[in-house]
Structure 1
């Protein structure tokens, strides 16, 4: 594979065409005309992304404040560990979106990545917001330390960290593609055992404010995963020398290893949580992996998990199947804006 190191895209080069000649390593003026871009349907993706605007402190956490102390010890422990996990995974995404943008020569990618970066910043804020609502500052800080000092979580994130940092050290198209693979895994699979935990609480009418916030994050991540999968396919199509059987097998191996680590994590963090069937969760992880592979133009690797074994989750978030759920009904029921008197600083 090519080891050609890319230069950062120029901010403005008026002698180049407005429509970029390539996503990475191409020529572009830097001027964005949405009616003259290389991949016209990406404008619709941009519009969907900006339509998802929300803020963490608009979600009313007063019910969760009252309920948290009544959760079982295993539920409390899982709640804090999973928030710690989500914050660890989302933290690098704002920067990674910026890095994609720095090396992309297509200005439409810059704009889409800018929206994704903003949404990832909101996700990070939201984890601080929910924890500040239900636990002390010491417990909040402890949850955010998990990514650094929990052995299971460190093992789970090791490959992600390795490939993200390789992209920083050597921004080749090969490393960009590998980073897209791990971004797809992160956006499309790594979060989902954690999301399932909060949705499981919600179907027992517990911590509904938190699950509502998770629904908004989940909705964003579905769109992010969709765009990154398209960006991966388009970049690979523009660089056919990289589209080899060897690279495809590398992608499949990363998925197999990541699925194994995700199952290990979910069994560790959800093993004592009432209402979660771990065998069902394992099948759901396989299903999510299959789904992301299909979106990336690759084949499924878990033939026994082509359907969602946890269909009850659809009540809490939109999905890619074109089947709308009651997410917006949930939004109208639960999306109660806080005022300055019961916002972030007072919770």
Structure 2
């Protein structure tokens, strides 16, 4: 029996209640009152998201402009390949967030996904901004071609591409849930070997402007991953017929395969980079997968990787436990929008 296609949510249906009766396929007027939503704590998630506002061209890249030429060849190659990877991940996220919002019948989800889509657009802009600061236009274009031409990267992204396009072609509840799973993988694991490379440069006082930009992207992705995991759990709870052993096994299989592909990619792109232990990186990828599975309400699949083997990364990124690490408490590197209220003296 073929599964029914979901219809896009109507913009306004005044006869329906303001509080949605379901995240997908529910009834809602389209009128959003944040004080009367089905999942009240999602307002706090919305507030955290918009609190992360930043712009790419307000990050100072002057030192990176001078330093890039002094990086060794392996660091330069990895820098360009990883920017290419990140751009192939963030560019489709803008559209995927929009597509999910079009089928969401809960107006609070529509608003949160709109913020996520905007932030993903900023992330993608930031990769163009970073590359334009350090290499020629031809080299920039070459880095952005990697997502279409590099065989290891194509292999790494194949399952993601397949699932995202399946949702476009067949917007069923099952494909929405599967797309949310892959969005969770993307936000919570696929970026992280790339992020680690830039943080490794920064801890050797190299390309600090780039790592600062990456840390803002990382902070956003942590919030995106947190919300996407909540969206998955809520949608699965509202649609218990999909909460089957077969579907949960599918989730675990995607995680296992994705971990293997991520380790293959990170080994390929980081094998010649000084300061990164590839065994530790593999453990870090598995550690990230365990975290995302827990957030999705599932069990860890790598019992040997419950602790972060690359503890030095904590100096650069937030974590899922809701505590702030040193990096975001450092006023000198925390993004602050200049205004008449804070003035330049506070920056």
Taking a change above 3 Å as real, the CA distance of residues 336 and 245 of structure 1, as seen in their structure-2 partners, is: closer
Taking a change above 3 Å as real, the CA distance of residues 2 and 244 of structure 1, as seen in their structure-2 partners, is: farther
Contact kept? 2:212, 2:333, Cα under 8 Å: no
Q: How does 1:1-347 map to 2 (within 5 A)?
A: 3-330=3-330, 332-333=332-333
Taking a change above 3 Å as real, the CA distance of residues 336 and 101 of structure 1, as seen in their structure-2 partners, is: closer
TM-score by length of 1: 0.96
CA–CA separation in structure 2 for the residues paired with 1:215 and 1:33: 33
Q: What's the CA shift string for 1:173-203, capped at 9, x where partnerless?
A: 1000000000000000000000000000000
- In the TM superposition, residue 98 of structure 1 has moved relative to its aligned partner by 0.3
CA–CA separation in structure 1 for the residues paired with 2:318 and 2:333: 16
- In the TM superposition, residue 330 of structure 1 has moved relative to its aligned partner by 4.0
CA–CA separation in structure 2 for the residues paired with 1:337 and 1:131: 23
Instruction: Please give the root-mean-square deviation of Cα atoms over the aligned residues, in Å.
Output: 1.3
CA–CA separation in structure 1 for the residues paired with 2:183 and 2:314: 23
Contact kept? 1:24, 1:106, Cα under 8 Å: yes
Q: Report the secondary structure of 1:145's partner residue.
A: helix
- In the TM superposition, residue 135 of structure 1 has moved relative to its aligned partner by 0.1
CA–CA separation in structure 1 for the residues paired with 2:337 and 2:107: 35
TM-score by length of 2: 0.96
Higher RCO, 1 or 2 (CA under 8 Å, sep at least 6)?
1
CA–CA separation in structure 2 for the residues paired with 1:268 and 1:177: 31
- In the TM superposition, residue 321 of structure 1 has moved relative to its aligned partner by 1.9
- In the TM superposition, residue 317 of structure 1 has moved relative to its aligned partner by 1.1
Q: What's the CA shift string for 1:286-339, capped at 9, x where partnerless?
A: 00000000000000000000111111101001111233112234452475989x
**Structure 1 residue runs of 4+, over 4 Å off?**
334-338
Taking a change above 3 Å as real, the CA distance of residues 335 and 6 of structure 1, as seen in their structure-2 partners, is: closer
Q: What's the CA shift string for 1:114-163, capped at 9, x where partnerless?
A: 10000000000000000000000000000000000000000000000000
Q: What's the CA shift string for 1:17-48, capped at 9, x where partnerless?
A: 00000000000000000010000000000000
Q: What's the CA shift string for 1:45-88, capped at 9, x where partnerless?
A: 00000000000000000000000000010000000000000000
**Unaligned regions of 5+ residues in structure 1, if any?**
339-347
CA–CA separation in structure 2 for the residues paired with 1:254 and 1:294: 15
Taking a change above 3 Å as real, the CA distance of residues 317 and 331 of structure 1, as seen in their structure-2 partners, is: farther
Taking a change above 3 Å as real, the CA distance of residues 63 and 337 of structure 1, as seen in their structure-2 partners, is: farther
Contact kept? 2:6, 2:25, Cα under 8 Å: yes
Taking a change above 3 Å as real, the CA distance of residues 137 and 87 of structure 1, as seen in their structure-2 partners, is: same
CA–CA separation in structure 1 for the residues paired with 2:117 and 2:94: 4
**Unaligned regions of 5+ residues in structure 2, if any?**
339-347
Count of aligned pairs:
338
